[in-house]
A and B are shown apart, each in its own frame.
Chain A
Amino acid sequence: MLMFTLQLLVAGIATGSVYALIALGIVLIYKCSGVVNFAQGAFVMLGAYLTYGLVKLGLPAYVALLGAMILMAGCGMASERLVLRPMMKAPLVAVMTVTLGMLILMKAVCLAIWGPDQLAFPRLFPDGAVDVFGIFVTYNYLAAFVLSICLSVGFLAFYQLTPIGLMQRCTADNPRAALAIGIHTSNQISLAWSMSAALAGIGGALLASLNGLSLGLADIGLVAFPVIVLGGLTSLTGALVAGLLLGVLQALTDGLLTPVAEQFLRTYTSIYSAGALQQVVPYALLVVVLLVRPEGIFGQRGTERL
């Protein structure tokens, strides 16, 4: 039982670290341009499909992954330049909806090119597993975890320590002041979008290597929203911690809670299956967070109320 739980924890941490990576992108865009990007799920999906496409073209896995990341950065920048920039002065309802439009469009493009069926994602990492005190950690999980954490931490370091990171933070903090000291804020926003899309793209490829490739990845990408609310909307560290937490929670729900719940339901009611409980758990948690601590774990108190 203990081993099983630990095994679940490993899976949860691996997926959770990928969630964190995706959520970082949303927080970055929100901080920088005040846009809640619902297309992040589509970036996740598109990144995975691009990696798949590049591998099918005969590129080695790592090159494909890198190529997809670069293409996604371009895609993020294009979205900002072509779609978001003309809408800079539009009301937020309209901006949110336009990102939804992008989500639909990208999903449709993937549907047209790759079809509606689940595809076998190419092996990015070798088969096999490491044995850590009797817990088997497959290379897939290990690679997803290590890559996500490295990228997240690398990104945080970049954001905190480099001159460009400083300009990013300036733009997020006070766009007018940033303009006044000579920072080209709209370039910074473009950069934020391209970094965010690149992170999401890698996240998508990693998720696909864990769970297979389908259009459903776009919906899985939406789990990043409970993550950012739990983490506190504007906190990058919060997104990281909350991502890991939610991944673990999902894995534990899937492995431990669902069987118990089904046992209970079959005994006392006529319901046979608890369904995909792990998919709604993040959203249920989101509602609880909004009730109990709407500013999230790392958010600033008072910014979220009217």
Chain B
Amino acid sequence: MSRPVLAAVLLSVLAVIGTLLLGRFGAYMMHAVAIAAIGALSLNLLTGFCGQINFAQAGLLGVGAYAAGLAGNAGWDLLALPVAGLAAVATAVLIGLPALRLRGLYFAIATLAAQFILEYLFKFAEPITHGVSGLLIKPMTVFGRPIQADQGYAIVAITLLLATFLVMHWLRRTDLGRSFLVVRENEVVAKGMGINVARTKMLAFMISGFFAGIAGGLIGFTARLAHPESFGMSLSVDYVAMIIVGGLGSMPGAVLGAGFITLLPEAIQRLGEIFHISDQLSALREMTFGLLIILFLIFEGRGLSAIGSRLVSARGWRTRQGGRAEPLELQKIKSSQGGLE
């Protein structure tokens, strides 16, 4: 096992042990972070690896939540999550077909449109989604046994997060994964290398969509409700913020960013309680959030993961293994074109 894989497995085991030791609230935070991390890894695959920005992530999560909810309520047991993933893949194909032939900019605007259309459909398709009252979801069942406790969901979410991480870690080293990076860096060069750019982007969007659907399904199962309001534009922006704050293109960064953005409102809540400013809390949260995105992008474009690795290398941990270079990525993300033009 290579070092990142080993680290991921060990951290997951630690997280599971931690969950079992922590109380109910700790377990709740744990699954919230783990689910957000799956969603962030999914977006990172599309935006960080392949350079296509997606504002419909919340819409895809929503599709996953509704699909998992409907399948779960119908008693599909463990199949509910793959069904959620496939439903989101189908949605991604529908969004991608008109948009991915065009330059990246059009894709960004098309996903913006898709986000609003999906939100509308969640509200409007009442026979399926129960409209504005939301779809009630039964607890997730594993081989017929319903999961009731937050600890149970935390363990499921951490396991799936580990699986997602490993799949993407493997994917990045395949031909397809490398062609994502080439498309991001320069579409003309990618074409010259014989890469079918539109097809590569579509595959990235479909794979990204699958994991978004699974994350959405988990959101549905843990919230026990799929509601149009919970999958709005602002959630999409949250996910974009996660991968930016974490460091675009970095998988540990996406997980860190997910943790950061998920826990930030909790931290601000606590601060608000201490300083008695609960009236302005939501404004304060949003302000911090907006400022963080701007400051991170201006001063540390490579995000938390870069800060982390600087700390590590400052202590000489990296130099011992002879300064191994990362394969074809990340180093130049600040100066590169980002694949959007």
Binding site for B on A (CB under 8 A): 34, 36, 83, 86-87, 89-94, 96-98, 100-109, 111-112, 116, 219, 222, 225-226, 229, 233, 269-277, 279-280, 283-284, 286-287, 290-291, 294, 304-306
Contact = CB atoms under 8 A, between A and B. Distances in A.
Contacts of B335: 89
Given A104-B237, A112-B280, A306-B101, A93 B106 contact: no
A64 B90 CA distance: 50
Contacts of A283: 112-114, 116-117
A284 B240 CA distance: 23
A97 B244 CA distance: 8
Contacts of B64: none
B282 A98 contact: no
A274 B106 CA distance: 28
Contact of A275 (B102, B103, B124): B124
A97 B293 contact: yes
Interface of B: 47, 51, 53, 97-99, 101-106, 108-110, 112-114, 116-117, 120, 123-127, 187, 191, 197-198, 233, 237, 240-241, 244, 248, 280, 282-287, 289-294, 297-298, 301, 333-341
A143 to B, nearest CB: 29
Contact of A97 (B53, B123, B125): B53
A299 B51 CA distance: 24
Nearest to A288: B98
A90 B334 contact: yes
Given A93-B53, A100-B237, A287-B117, A112 B108 contact: no
A102 B291 CA distance: 8
19 contacts: A36-B105, A89-B334, A91-B337, A93-B53, A94-B248, A96-B53, A97-B53, A97-B244, A98-B293, A98-B298, A101-B293, A108-B290, A111-B283, A112-B287, A222-B112, A279-B116, A284-B113, A286-B113, A290-B102
Given A89-B334, A91-B51, 15 more contacts: A36-B105, A90-B334, A98-B298, A103-B290, A104-B289, A104-B290, A105-B287, A109-B287, A222-B112, A272-B126, A279-B116, A280-B116, A287-B98, A294-B101, A294-B106
A291 B283 contact: no
Contacts of A306: 101-103, 187, 191, 197-198
A270 B131 CA distance: 12
Contacts of A276: 120
Given A104-B286, A225-B112, A270 B51 contact: no
A241 to B, nearest CB: 18
A131 B269 CA distance: 55
A90 B303 CA distance: 13
Contacts of A291: 97-98
Nearest to A225: B109
A36 B108 contact: yes
Contacts of B237: 100, 104
B333 A91 contact: yes
Contact of A94 (B187, B198, B289, B338): B338
The 8 closest A-B pairs by CB, nearest first: A91-B338, A105-B290, A101-B293, A108-B286, A104-B290, A92-B340, A112-B283, A283-B113
Given A280-B120, A286-B113, A287-B110, A90 B301 contact: yes
Nearest to B293: A101
B301 A94 contact: yes
Contacts of B120: 275-277, 279-280
Given A111-B283, A272-B126, A275-B124, A102 B116 contact: no
A111 B113 contact: no
Contact of B102 (A86, A94, A103, A304): A304
Contacts of A90: 297, 301, 334, 338
Contact of B51 (A93, A104, A109): A93
Given A279-B120, A287-B117, A305-B101, A101 B294 contact: yes
A273 B125 CA distance: 10
Contacts of A229: 106, 109
A283 B111 CA distance: 10
B105 A271 contact: no
A271 B124 contact: yes
B96 to A, nearest CB: 11
Contact of A92 (B126, B187, B289, B337): B337
A233 B110 CA distance: 13
A89 to B, nearest CB: 6
A73 B236 CA distance: 29
A284 B114 CA distance: 8
A47 to B, nearest CB: 18
Given A92-B104, A270-B126, A104 B293 contact: yes
Contacts of A270: 126-127
A96 to B, nearest CB: 6
Contacts of A86: 298
Which of the listed residues A91, A274, A286 has the most CB atoms from chain B within 10 Å of its own CB?
A91
B55 to A, nearest CB: 8
Contacts of B301: 90, 94
A94 B339 CA distance: 11
